[in-house]
Amino acid sequence: MYKNIITCSIILFSAANFTFADTFLWQGNNRNSVNTPAAWFNETTGAIAAVQPSATDTVKMDFQNSTTESGAPYARQIITFLDSDIAWGDTTFKNINTNLPSTDMLDKFISQGTGRNISMRSLAYENGENPNYLWLGGGDSATPANISILNSVQMGSVSDTSAMKGVLVFGGNSNVGAGSSGGAIGPCQKVEIGGNTVLYGNSTLGFNTNLSGTSSAPSVSIGGVIRMDALNGMSPTLWLTNRTYSGTSGVNTYVKGRGIDGSGAVKNNLTSGFADFNTTLELATQAGDNFKFDGTMNLNATSSNKLSVVKSGEGKQILVLRNNDVALTASSVSVEGGNLELYNGGSAFRSLALNSGKFGAASADGGTGGIAKFSTGTFDGGILSVDIFSASSCDVVAFSNSLNVAAITIVELELENFTGNGGIYEYSIIETPAITGIDPANIDDYFTAVDSHGNVIESASFSYADSKIYLTVNVPEPSIYAATFGVLALGFAVWRKRK
């Protein structure tokens, strides 16, 4: 038999005072229950502790050098929560196994019994030499578990490059009722993470839920920011949906977080042949947020699967997507609030819906006009942001099929990055072979240009020709614009001081 060790510091209370107890160990074999008090031992005395971790305890589970009775490396470990719900404090899983060469992979499962729920104050997963898997909360029950991490989730360590290769999946790889034989583990019900979710190096975090979520009731709720820290040339990965067991059906997964920052890969980890279903990533930034994700986003499946990106909230999110995934042609972007800037110079999304907030193309390198590409689009409110860089360079939003104009659209011009001489210039800001909802000949009646402070630019005009919407505007000299902006900023500062 192999042994896993959990250390937990337990606070003992008495009528008069409380003391910190010794570190406790849990020594369990395959399919032992962590809910059994007799499985907990005092590290110092070796005595049975007769308790199990509680919500105030620190829990550390270390898979170091796990072996079978013969001493051979044990390639799959299953620890089950069979008897009741668990509620632990700060929890660390350390998945290091030096018995196997780095080319081998260990599967680690933490699965629950019927309807058992899992709660932890925080969760850290530090993997070592091998890209090991930890499947947390996946089970075989018709009533999957709810998983709640009250504070943060951390994958890997910024100070230890050897601890950045682990794969943590909330839930397993299959649907409800798939059973546990043949490598299939069912999902959890939903996941709630209260704080930030941080991924270092080559670590991977994934979700497999049974809840077909919505914005008000997401399958995965992340109260903080998803931070992806690609240290030392590595690239972390976020699996919005993990369904890889053969014959598994899909589920509409809705992941909602405060925003995403850093670089890496966002994808669905799927086996081809799934039924048509959607995966949604909602980025609900808050006032003052300014996050930028620079990496890839794809489906890893057939084009019948859809990936929707929803921008809500008040803050700013920049997405610089550098992949050429044709499956994005079935995917959509919806702007409901805040500010979203998007670069997808490789593959086009199926559609853009600008309903509220602000949307604009992002620049891949920060110095030239950005490009955001879609098949179709609808402007039904909100603001289109256009950054003007020079007399001939600006951001462009391109629609290969058509653009529906359902409301008067505000076009906000950003001139802070403009270089060159001022003057009257014409810019192609939107490319579309067809415009619906309005008469293109009267397009100037449906678009209004403003500066970055919301002031209407009276000299600006719009026209449509050659499958392009043109903006003609008198751009001031950069020195004049900077001076005007400085006066406005000074006036605002004086106003605030007087207030």
In the prediction, which pLDDT does 121 show? 93
Strand positions, DSSP E, 271-422: 278-285, 290-298, 306-313, 316-321, 332-335, 339-343, 349-354, 358-361, 371-379, 383-387, 396-405, 409-414
- The residue with tokens 């709640």 is 148
420 CA to centre of own chain: 39
In the prediction, which pLDDT does 154 show? 94
- Residue 498: CB partners within 8 Å, gap ≥ 6? none
In the prediction, which pLDDT does 498 show? 39
Contact call for residues 193 and 237 (beta carbons, < 8 A): no
In the prediction, which pLDDT does 474 show? 94
Structure-token pair, residue 433: 């072979």
In the prediction, which pLDDT does 90 show? 87
Best CA proximity match to 205, nearest among 264, 248, 162: 264
Using 50 as the pLDDT threshold, list the residues of the chain that sit under it.
1-21, 65-69, 101-105, 485-499
In the prediction, which pLDDT does 13 show? 29
